[in-house]
A and B are shown apart, each in its own frame.
Chain A
Amino acid sequence: MNSPQAAPIHVFVKYVGRIAVMTGRVRESISLDEPANADHLLDVMEQRYPGFRPVFDPPGGVFNLTTAIICRRGGQPSFSIVDPQEPLKDGDVLTFW
């Protein structure tokens, strides 16, 4: 996990389709210690919603193949997160579907 001294960042998360059924909500804000990446976020999600991580990162599977995580950052064109080590930044809007 992240260093306890690091400053937190805040990401805004949206859940679409069946993922919203899993979480019981459509959006929320999540704090992460910096430096944070997609894998850290999945750790948090797994704690909140047990069974979440395997949906997006199946054991032995290919990350982001049967689901997708879209990231919108600082008014730039959105992109799909395909690498669990993708760094996350404060203010990122992440859509899980």
Chain B
Amino acid sequence: MTWHGWAGRVLRVDLATGRISTEELSYQKARDFIGCRGLNVAYLYDEVGPEVGPFDQGNKLIFGAGPLEGTPIGMGRVSVLTKHPNRFLGEGGAGGHWSAELKFAGYDLLIVENKAERPVWLLIVDDKVELRDASHLWGRDTKEKHAIIREETGIAGIHVASVGMAGENKVANAKVQFTLDHSGGKGCGTIMGDKKLAAVAVKGSGMVSVAHGDRFLAAYRNFHKTFDLNTTRDAFVPSWSFNSANMLLELFNENGWVHAHNAQMGLFEPMLNDVEYMDKYVVRPESSFCCPLPACGRRYEIKEGLFAGIAGDEREVGFAQAAPIVGIHSYPHVIKFRDMCNRAGLDEDQAMYSIAWAMECYERGIINRSDTDGMELRFGDADAFLTMVDKIIHREGFGDILALGVAEAAKRIGKGSERFALSIKGKELERMPQRNGYQMALGLAVSEGGPDHTRWYPPYPPNPKTIPEGMDLPFDPFKAFQTRSPDDKGRLVRWLYDSRAIVESLPSCVYMIRALLGIDFRPWLELFNSCTGENGDLDDFIRKGTRIVNLERAYIVREGFRRKDDTIPRRMLEEPVKEHNIPPIGDNLELMKDDYYQVRGWDNATAIPKEETLRGLGLSNVVEDFKRRGIWETTEEGGHE
């Protein structure tokens, strides 16, 4: 068939046998699940069942582009997916250019199977695909890996995805690190390291076929108006066009959103400020493929003083939020921290929340120097923080415990320390508040991939004043705007999940969800239809997002996750944010979950999608699978480890 938007091909690489093959993309799957995040889970559901353990040969690692990737809408977004070491969906998106190159090389998906005996790396240049020995790359950091591959191939503009030492050492939530310091897929780096796949380098020379060029161009121009500085109706557009994302530090602080000292406090002063960062450390913008928001990525450099010479690219929004979490006030230290994470492929959240937990345990006397390799581990000790980050990367001493992830580390230490471990489904919290943003609490709790704000971005509901009259939304925008009330949050979060699943599957960057693009999906539909030649209506389009989320839920249900796993840390449920007089969430989370499961058509006791819900979405294969496995006969307890 003739493909528009989609490349129409899947590339498979078997690391155990070295076999490389291509196959035609399933049109049925493409139509139902769009691409990228959606297509990834469609393939993973069919190919990696619950009988396969995360570190078994049978686990797979999937890199997905989508139909709009390679066009200016795609922003270079890739979704990486695997069965996470904790058995939920290890999924994450990253920007940059890698995914556009995969598309230009002629592939929608790359599926990596089995494990190599010795470290290898994969080179993709259009139809030339080969596995190469990576013994000279193994043990090197990601920037070194990228530089060596660029030199070895001599290909200008080749883009690389790699694992660092965190992935090679199987640190729990290690990420895949892409060129220009983009990273994604918490836990995917762990599995990539387990498979001994050091890197995937890709360069393509093709292009994306667009079905209706004039319509697509008009739709793109309409899309781009949102980012016009003269006419934008979104406060983030000018800020993210000129400033660093670290401007969020003050905003988080003023709203009581910061997790200072392991979220014991909601206010941290003096807070690091964005102006200092811009003045002293920012060199230039460094955008993703066709991204209209240059300040979302910045090249930084420490020119003098402590850690002079460190340079890299800021991607993780507000990475300096590590400062309040572990209580430090030094930009050089947080930049050094960022650099260490980039080079090692270490998840910043794992590092900062696990070390913050250890600091709290130390100050409470739960652990002492005999546990921490003789170190004083107190909030505010920036050098101790960096030392412990290094220990996690190399799995040395106490760092080997923290490398398991904060939830598992707390289990090992015991003595009541579990109470202070800030994690959801065994994965560290993101720097997102909950007690004064109930929609965020619910969004984090019900995620099929552990804490991941991109699944319901942005963290605040749409300002009702921005919504045009007559727009039919499936939630009450005025109730949704009351962020410390459980009212209507189920419908709001369902809408956010379903619509963002579409954006991440087209793909585009969820940070493009600005102004009306966050609530009016007709522009996205026109981009999709004009690019691919599909002709579905808006209802059908939104149903694709609903279908994706239901299949993701089905995946983790099959792995044993149930309602009880959809929760947030006890601290958020039971302790107030004293500095802002914000009460704990208490029973409101369960009220919101009742609401969410009801509007989803999921069983209230177990959070398992009902048969009629799955059939209504065309997921009859899941229905048959659930029946065969007796999923609907299982208890509320589920069965995962």
Contacts and interface: CB of A to CB of B under 8 A. Distances in A.
B210 to A, nearest CB: 32
Instruction: Tell me which of B239, B466, B581 has the highest count of chain A C-beta atoms within 10 A of its own C-beta.
Output: B239
A72 B580 CA distance: 8
- How many residues of B sit at the interface, in one of the four size bands? 20 to 34
B238 A18 contact: yes
Contacts of B127: none
Contacts of A76: 580-581
B234 A16 contact: no
A76 B256 CA distance: 10
B247 A78 contact: no
Contacts of B126: none
Interface in B422-472: 436, 463, 465-466
A70 B251 contact: yes
Contacts of A77: 256, 436, 484, 580-582
Contacts of B254: 14, 70, 72, 78, 93, 95
B580 A26 contact: no
Nearest to B246: A17
Contacts of B466: 65
B275 A26 contact: yes
A53 B235 CA distance: 15
B242 interface: yes
A75 B239 contact: no
Interface in A81-97: 82, 93, 95, 97
B334 to A, nearest CB: 18
Contacts of A95: 250-251, 254
B264 interface: no
Interface in A4-38: 14, 16-18, 20-21, 26
A26 B273 contact: yes
Contacts of A20: 273-275
A69 to B, nearest CB: 10
Given A66-B233, A95-B250, A95-B254, A16 B274 contact: yes
B247 A17 contact: yes
A67 B237 CA distance: 10
A52 B162 CA distance: 46
B232 interface: yes
A66 B243 contact: no
Given A14-B254, A76-B580, A66 B275 contact: no
A16 B242 contact: no
Contacts of A62: 465
A17 B239 CA distance: 6
Given A17-B243, A26-B273, A66 B256 contact: no
Contacts of B242: 17-18, 21
Nearest to A68: B235
Interface in A36-63: 62
B251 A16 contact: yes
Contact of A16 (B250, B256, B463, B581): B250
Contacts of B275: 20-21, 26
Interface of A: 14, 16-18, 20-21, 26, 62, 65-68, 70, 72, 75-78, 82, 93, 95, 97
22 contacts: A14-B250, A16-B239, A16-B250, A17-B242, A18-B239, A18-B242, A26-B273, A65-B233, A65-B463, A66-B234, A66-B237, A66-B238, A67-B235, A68-B235, A70-B254, A70-B255, A72-B580, A75-B581, A77-B436, A78-B254, A78-B256, A97-B247
